[in-house]
Chains A and B, each alone.
Chain A
Amino acid sequence: MTRAEISQAIIDIVNEIVPDEDWSALQPEENLRGKLESMDFLDVVMELRKQYGVEVPEADYGALSTLQSCVDYLEPRLARK
């Protein structure tokens, strides 16, 4: 997946998890994790597991703080997907 595709994938997941909010203007450096409740964040982890087969261990949760850091973290893990 390209970086743009990964970014869109994250937006799609967050849209699904918190559908009442408008995520279209989310900036790459914004604190995405801070906008999610703890169970919402676990939903993001679960959807990455379900939709893309990516396991994010708890020790790496910090890497999913922003849209930018999500893409950085996931790009090598999704390179062959």
Chain B
Amino acid sequence: MSKSDRERIVITGVGLTAPNGNNLAEFRSGLLHGVSGISKYETRYFGETLAGLCHFDALQYQKKKDLRIGTRAGSIAIYCVREALTDAGISVDALDKPRTGVFVGITEHGNVETENEIYELSKYNYQTKFWSHHHNPRTVANNPAGEVTINLGISGPHFTLGAACAAGNLGCVTGAQQLLLGEVDLALAGGVSESTGTFGIFAAFNSQNALARHPEPSKASRPFDLKRNGIVVSEGGAIFVMERLDRALARKARIYGELAGWCYNSDATDMVLPNPVRQAECMREAIRRAGLRPEQIHLVNTHATGTPAGDIKECDALREVFGENCRDTYFNNTKSFIGHCMGAAATLELAGNLPAFSDRIVHPTINVDELDPACALPNLVLNTPRQVSKMDAMLNNSFGMLGINCVTVVTRLS
């Protein structure tokens, strides 16, 4: 049975900041022209490493005091939401604030602020009377979404979705669900990450032998390359304006695509190692819910992070779902440009591919000097963009620690 327009959810605005661009046009251009956002980075205790940092102007939408008392994740979220609303042609004044919700995926929150506070406390011999009263509002898990509501005066619901590196997709799915439930009429949904602000994530990946190293920073993030050696940690954010189709059509909104299907499940097997069986189940179910078959998916944005084991397991899952009949299905990877933006990764990666509905160009996976035979998917777009003949549906993979999987399927609105 076909859905009514009120039961269909579309994306009508995109706001983002990535290590290689501060809006969709810049970001897309970077993805089509091989622009990496990775650079050398010095972090407390850990020393020199590599990271993807964003360079948006936080003072464009916030006061200096806001930056002093708030968090980097909050600033990223505010920037992305403001940019998304502008992109959607919705002024803040015209926003129906009680009927607007903010749903932000996060991999983690509070590590940066806690680490900073302990560092400050160390200057006072760890006397807790010097511990900041700002610590609690900075570290509550709803912080990034809550800062958005304060900044814009949005009085509808807000919360964050803690879903490791699947969080960006789960933020979008939650936005869609809130719209379908009738809780909101406009969802500002996606994901953010400030993880580069804590030495802990670098040190932990390093201890796990999963932190990327390369003498040339722009070459460090290299999923599917035989010599890949781990993850490049990055910050970033992407927020979509999401609406029910009837409302979007009524206001003549530009529609990037329809969030036609999704699925989330759990590996239930390991703290860090992915389970390709559960990943494949998640993909298949998302495709089924979109009313499609695998061969009708024309682009798959892989989650692959550049770890030796993880990339292979995802490829195993992809081979199972997308068999020999999927001649028009192409595969790419965005982390090869910008590293792993954690909670923002899935939303950013989907955002960067949305323009393919218009130009039918699949951006490549860069930095593959020697393709790992175990990752040699058919139609894996390597190093240069590929013009394709069909682009009606794309699938966006996101998988995270503790075995959380979230897959979305977005279709071109016919």
Interface residues of A (CB under 8 A from B): 17-20, 39-40, 42-43, 46, 49-50
Contacts and interface: CB of A to CB of B under 8 A. Distances in A.
Contact of A20 (B64, B129, B132, B133): B64
B134 interface: yes
A49 B133 CA distance: 13
B95 to A, nearest CB: 24
A19 B129 contact: no
A20 B62 CA distance: 10
Contacts of A20: 63-65
Interface string B333-377: 000000000000000000000000000000000000000000000
Contacts of A19: 64-65, 68
A17 B64 CA distance: 9
Given A46-B132, A49-B130, A39 B124 contact: no
Contacts, number: 22
Nearest to B130: A50
A50 B124 contact: yes
Interface of B: 63-65, 68-69, 124, 129-130, 132-134
Given A39-B69, A46-B133, 5 more contacts: A17-B68, A18-B65, A19-B64, A39-B134, A46-B132
A47 to B, nearest CB: 11
Nearest to B66: A20
A43 B130 CA distance: 11
Contacts of B129: 49
Contacts of B63: 20
B70 to A, nearest CB: 11
A59 B68 CA distance: 27
